[in-house]
Amino acid sequence: MNVIKTDIEGVVIIEPRIFNDDRGYFFESFSERDFNAQVRTVRFVQDNESKSSYGVVRGLHYQLPPNAQSKLVRVIKGAVLDVAVDIRKGSPTFGKHVAVELTADNHRQLFIPRGFAHGFSVLSDEVIFQYKCDNFYAPQSEGAIAWDDPDLGIDWRIPTDKVILSEKDSKHCRLCDATNLFDYNENLYE
């Protein structure tokens, strides 16, 4: 696998090695050994999958300690713009984001470490999105930031009048108003 660093330390794009032939293709979508050696040591405990249609924006979600989550995300059908936002107070990249197009054709994955909010917008007619988490879902630890926070400056690549949100995602606060965030100096992996 090829690991591509982004402008924010810890957030990486992973490109698998694809083997194509007349029958189709094969690739290793995850190897714990390679991931731990090239990205960071993480023990994924939960796999999730969602299906969404064009214009859906999900996010920006996170879980606070002791249930903070890292995620390894990918698309198996369609295309998304996947976004990770640094929400670690004191971080040199606090409030900055990484946005990467993930598609069924490019097979790219994005690793979002603990301390980041995560979301995606659906760019294709339909998408099937899969992700691994290194901690279990814990509703009591949920946090979220407004997807359209102007201070974040995220171009979701969907016209505003075409955005489809859950009721819950339409009510999140801006980052500057969030009270439950991460501390950059806290080791989130101990």
- Per residue of the chain (190 residues), what is the pLDDT tens digit? 999 999 999 999 999 999 999 999 998 899 999 999 999 999 999 999 999 999 999 999 999 999 999 999 999 999 999 999 999 999 999 999 999 999 999 999 999 999 999 999 999 999 999 999 999 999 999 999 999 999 999 999 999 999 999 999 999 999 999 999 999 999 999 8
| Residue 67, pLDDT score | 97
| Residue 50, pLDDT score | 97
Q: What is the 3-state secondary structure (H, E, C) of the chain?
A: CEEEECCCCCCEEEECCCEEECCEEECCCCCHHHHHHHCCCCCCCEEEEEEEECCEEEEEEEECCCCCCCEEEEEEECEEEEEEEECEECCCCCCCEEEEEEECCCCCEEEECCCEEEEEEECCCEEEEEEEECCCCCHHHEEECCCCCCCCCCCCCCCHHHCECCCHHHHCCCHHHCCCCEECCCCCCC
| Residue 190, pLDDT score | 80
Residue positions annotated with a catalytic role: 61, 131
| Residue 64, pLDDT score | 97
Predicted TM-score (pTM) above 0.85: yes
- Domains annotated for the chain, with CATH where assigned, are 45-183 (2.60.120.10)
